[in-house]
């Protein structure tokens, strides 16, 4: 009998982490690899935030805290949601966890009964369907076409909802496509949700601040205030404040749900690190003048990488409005052969080819349930991105011109 539980068969290790691990193995062998597979900013945590963490240690803020997070942090989150999103929550409607990831998991684990369905627009962050399965639910994937900007249309949502649907998961700006749902997009989806009062909305706003050009961030609880009482708004400091390793995310929603999430957290991790919580107060309520700098830098890199990738034979890359990912279509390289006559049959083959031949680590679209695409994170320096794109263009140019029959 295996020591591993049956439910582990329902999920698979993250393809992002798998690619990063493979890239690290090559690096250990001495090969120079540019890693564009990571989902985290390359910036260091801002000094004022780091100092707040150090201060927390010096002040002895090193003991267990309340499960939902220390009061000053929840106050900072409450004030942020009111100030920036025009959403009014009380402190007991807010819970803090070990990253937005744990908040999403707690919400699903707290709410799903076996067989309950969760509608997930795809391409998506693959942790969503895996977390749904682990929590005993059934993911219902809705394919969103590139031609629609990888966004779900109201008619697709209508078709996907059934009697067992418990949640709609929305992530805007999106990992992996960078798609941003406008307020009008959300209002269109809300019209459908109004006809189905049993469906809740999980709005994963983790990339909220990373929107470019004329795109504007919008979130469901604000775009459709009548859905406020069945929406969980999820956010955190990982991406905006360059704090991925600190593990602080939060959720805000109806008390019944938040209480249930706190029960799960209380019996698992208890809470995120006390030190990280105090650092997060500074990240959310303190000086954030670095954020526009981060955003401007990301936008510059996005423009650079899109322009360069569109020079690669067989790739076509649309301009995403947010996050720090591009999601180029690689249909044009499928069916071609490498110099050593290896067939590129899938986006995974292509990602492997880029890693082995060009020394550039990206994630195949299949890792986000969408093919044939690759996801490239542009959270790297302009020098690295330039070098990586040149190598990708070069590697694509080396593929055989004629497509296999």
Ligand X SMILES: Cc1ncc(COP(=O)(O)O)c(C=O)c1O
Give the nearest residue (CB) to ligand X: 99
Using CB under 6 A as the binding rule, whether residue 39 contacts ligand X is answered as yes
Tell the smallest beta-carbon distance from residue 161 to ligand X (Å).
22
Which of the ranges 97-105, 335-343, 370-378, 381-389 carries the binding residues for ligand X, by CB under 6 A? Answer: 97-105
Q: H or E element: which one contains 360?
A: strand 360-361
Query: Does the protein bind ligand X through residue 320 (CB under 6 A)?
Result: no
Widest Cα–Cα separation across the chain: 69
Residue in the structure block whose two tokens are 């986006």: 347
- Cβ partners under 8 Å of residue 261, min gap 6: 95, 97, 103, 106, 107, 110, 251
- Residue 67 DSSP label: T
Nearer to ligand X, 185 or 204 (CB): 204
CB atoms within 10 A of CB 387: 16
How distant, in Å, are the alpha carbons of 76, 142, 330, 404 from that of 362? 36, 24, 12, 24
Q: How far is the CB of 168 from ligand X (least distance, A)?
A: 15
Q: Based on CB atoms, which residue is closest to ligand X, 40 or 356?
A: 40
Q: Does 125 sit near ligand X (CB under 6 A)?
A: yes
Q: Does 175 bind ligand X (CB under 6 A)?
A: yes
| Strand-strand pairing, 138-143 and 117-122 | parallel
- Between the alpha carbon of residue 165 and those of residues 102, 126, 156, 256, the distances in Å are 22, 19, 14, 19
The least distance separating ligand X from the CB of residue 235, rounded to whole angstroms, comes to 8
- Note whether 170 binds ligand X by CB under 6 A: no
Under rule CB under 6 A, which residues in 191-230 are in contact with ligand X?
204, 206
Asked if 37 contacts 26 with a C-beta cutoff of 8 angstroms, the reply is no
Choose between 121 and 328: whose C-beta lies nearer to ligand X. Answer: 121
Site string for ligand X, 230-249 (x = CB under 6 A): ------x-x-----x----x
How far is Cα 166 from Cα 158, in angstroms, rounded to an integer? Answer: 14
In this chain, which of 69, 99, 123, 364 binds ligand X, going by CB under 6 A? 99
In angstroms, what is the minimal distance from the CB of 88 to ligand X? 23
Contacting residues toward ligand X, per CB under 6 A? 39, 99-101, 125, 171, 175, 204, 206, 236, 238, 244, 249
């Amino acid at each position: 009998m295996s020591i591993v539980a049956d439910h582990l068969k329902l999920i698979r290790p993250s393809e992002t982490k798998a690619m990063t691990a493979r890239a690290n193995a090559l690096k250990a062998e001495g090969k120079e690899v540019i890693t564009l597979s990571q989902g985290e900013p390359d910036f260091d945590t801002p000094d004022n935030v780091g100092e707040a963490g150090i201060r927390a240690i010096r002040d002895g803020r090193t003991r267990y805290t309340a499960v939902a997070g220390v009061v000053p942090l929840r106050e900072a989150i409450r004030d942020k949601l009111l100030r920036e999103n025009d959403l009014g929550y009380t402190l007991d409607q807010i819970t803090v966890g070990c990253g937005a990831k744990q908040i999403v998991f707690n919400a699903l684990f707290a709410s799903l009964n076996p067989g309950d369905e969760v509608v997930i627009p795809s391409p998506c962050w693959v942790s969503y369907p895996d977390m749904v399965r682990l929590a005993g639910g059934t993911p219902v994937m809705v394919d969103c076409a590139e031609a629609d900007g990888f966004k779900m249309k109201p008619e697709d949502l209508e078709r996907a909802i059934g009697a067992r649907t418990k949640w709609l998961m929305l992530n805007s700006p999106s990992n992996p496509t960078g798609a941003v749902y406008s307020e009008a997009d959300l209002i269109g989806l809300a019209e459908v949700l109004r006809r189905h009062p049993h469906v809740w909305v999980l709005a994963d706003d983790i990339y909220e601040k990373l929107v470019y050009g004329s795109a504007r961030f919008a979130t469901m609880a604000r775009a459709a205030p009548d859905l406020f009482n069945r929406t969980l708004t999820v956010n955190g400091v990982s991406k905006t404040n360059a704090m991925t390793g600190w593990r602080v995310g939060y959720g805000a929603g109806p008390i019944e749900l938040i209480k249930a999430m706190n029960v799960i957290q209380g019996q698992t991790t208890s809470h995120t690190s006390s030190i990280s919580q105090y650092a997060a107060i500074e990240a959310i309520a303190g000086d954030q003048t670095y954020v526009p700098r981060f955003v401007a830098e990301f936008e510059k890199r996005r423009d650079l990488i899109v322009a360069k990738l569109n020079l690669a034979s067989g790739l076509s890359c649309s301009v995403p409005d947010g996050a720090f990912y591009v999601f180029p279509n690689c249909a044009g390289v499928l069916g071609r052969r490498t110099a050593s006559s290896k067939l590129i049959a899938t986006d995974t083959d292509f990602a492997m080819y880029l890693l082995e031949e060009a020394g550039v680590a990206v994630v195949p679209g299949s890792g986000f349930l969408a093919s044939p695409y690759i996801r490239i994170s542009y959270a790297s320096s302009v020098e690295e991105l330039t070098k990586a794109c040149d190598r990708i263009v070069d590697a694509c140019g080396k593929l055989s011109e004629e497509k296999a029959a």
